[in-house]
Chains A and B, each alone.
Chain A
Amino acid sequence: MINFQYLRTTTAKSAIALLVKDKNAKFLAGGTSQGGSATLSTVGSAVNDVCVALKSAIAELAANSNMDATANFVDVLKKNNLPQIEVTKESQGGKERDNYSMYSFSIHFVQVKVHALTGVVKVSKIVSVGDSGTIVSPKTARSQMLGGAVGGIGMALTEESVIDHRYGRYINNNFADYHVPVNADAPEIDVNFINKPDPHINPMGAKGMGEIALIGFSAAVANAVFNATGKRIRTLPITPDKILT
């Protein structure tokens, strides 16, 4: 259920931006989970539904007060002496999820440099392409893909949690021993999106992209290392000792 007190536009894209900015907007998303890359599909659809309802409410108000249906909503409110218009809409989604499967896809291209003497692998260039339907927010979607790519560098090359099997404790439970990628580890990254709306899954045509940024990335690094050295490393992370032996 979304309760909007005001709204300037009726497109889902700007509506979500508004939802974030509007302190008065409340949404109680029950039933569907907000995770598993499904937040945009579920909450976004609810925002879309309430925006459509609001649009027709404004149009109705305009028609009742003998105004053009395309009139500015501020003028419509002024004419009706209303400080605001409130619409509450419950969004449950349709049967799309039962009838259609929903998958997002991504592909990663990785260029690596392997030091012949030390076996250190450095990722020097990345091209990531994501297909998750409509891209609602290009800027944050790109940031998500960047995050997945560099997170993938850590997964592929440096991050390993080591457990002391006698006591069941992590030995490297600090950033000095567990190496997460830092700023200097992030290479040039080219992010692209297919940006093709999914016609079935929700009104916006947007699918989740939380996971696709990372999935497949470490495999791309391992393939690149194989291409460079002829060595198939089948356990992550690909540390210099595995390359040199």
Chain B
Amino acid sequence: MIAGAISSKKSSVITAIALTPGVAVKVAESNADECFAQLFEKIPVKLTVNNKAYQTTVEPRVTLLDYLREELHLTGTKKGCDHGQCGACTVHVDGQRINFCLSLAVMNEGKKITTIEGLANGETLHPMQAAFIKHDGFQCGYCTPGQIMSAVACVREGHTGSRAEISEYMSGNICRCVAYLNIVDAIIEVEEGGETV
């Protein structure tokens, strides 16, 4: 412990000498400290997003939501509350719906991720997307990617026994425009349509 204290004291002295004000300003201006830190702080991660493999390095503090939006530019997944309370960031990981804002990128090593961008088959809409349009399952549309991902999972999980059951299992996704009833209608149609979702 003492040795540690001494060595850290030593290193801070070295740092203090090395980073005289002029140098410090230069380093900050050129963003060199950030570049330097990235070499040490980033961790390699392998992910499969919408059937496309990605191999990259991320900081361990980066949520998968931020990684998708900022690095992969898959901005279909929305950031709502960033607290896991609203469900706007719902995506599928290995077929299961989760709130991506509560999942760090490094926690998803080797996992298979499906976002709203990966739901449609080319230009052909996924049955749930088509049903949302048909039943007006949205107004402003901000919660919609999360609602659709959640709805697809709801059908796959088999929680579609009744309107009440669907409502219960869709209650993790808040919609302030309140398209709830139309969303339930859309899910019932997809369920009754019998298409594989």
Nearest-Cβ distance from residue B172 to partner chain A, whole angstroms: 8
Q: Of the candidates A144, A146, A148, A151, which one forms a contact with B181 in the assembled complex, judged by CB atoms under 8 Å apart?
A: A146
Q: Determine the main DSSP class of B at the interface with A.
A: loop
Question: Does A174 lie at the interface of the complex (its beta carbon under 8 Å from any beta carbon of B)?
Answer: yes
Q: Of the candidates B139, B164, B171, which one forms a contact with A147 in the assembled complex, judged by CB atoms under 8 Å apart?
A: B139
Which residues on the B side are within 8 Å of A147 (C-beta)? 139, 177-179
Nearest-Cβ distance from residue A49 to partner chain B, whole angstroms: 27
For the complex, give the distance between the alpha carbons of A146 and B139 in Å.
11
Q: Determine the main DSSP class of A at the interface with B.
A: helix
For the complex, give the distance between the alpha carbons of A181 and B173 in Å.
10
Question: Does B10 lie at the interface of the complex (its beta carbon under 8 Å from any beta carbon of A)?
Answer: no
What is the interface size of chain A, counting residues whose CB is below 8 A from a CB of the partner? 22
A184→B168 contact, CB < 8 A? yes
CB-CB contacts below 8 Å: B47-71 with A: none
Question: Does A107 lie at the interface of the complex (its beta carbon under 8 Å from any beta carbon of B)?
Answer: no
What is the interface size of chain B, counting residues whose CB is below 8 A from a CB of the partner? 25
For the complex, give the distance between the alpha carbons of A174 and B178 in Å.
18
Which residues on the B side are within 8 Å of A176 (C-beta)? 83, 85
For the complex, give the distance between the alpha carbons of A181 and B180 in Å.
10
CB-CB contacts below 8 Å: B67-87 with A: 81, 83, 85-86
Nearest-Cβ distance from residue B32 to partner chain A, whole angstroms: 38
Question: Does B153 lie at the interface of the complex (its beta carbon under 8 Å from any beta carbon of A)?
Answer: no
With A180-B176, A186-B167 known as contacts, the answer to whether A143 contacts B85 (CB < 8 A) is: no
A175→B184 contact, CB < 8 A? no
* Pairs of residues from A and B, 4 with the lowest C-beta to C-beta distance, nearest first: A175-B85, A147-B178, A150-B178, A182-B171
Residues of A near any B CB (own CB < 8 A): 139-140, 142-144, 146-151, 174-176, 180-186, 189
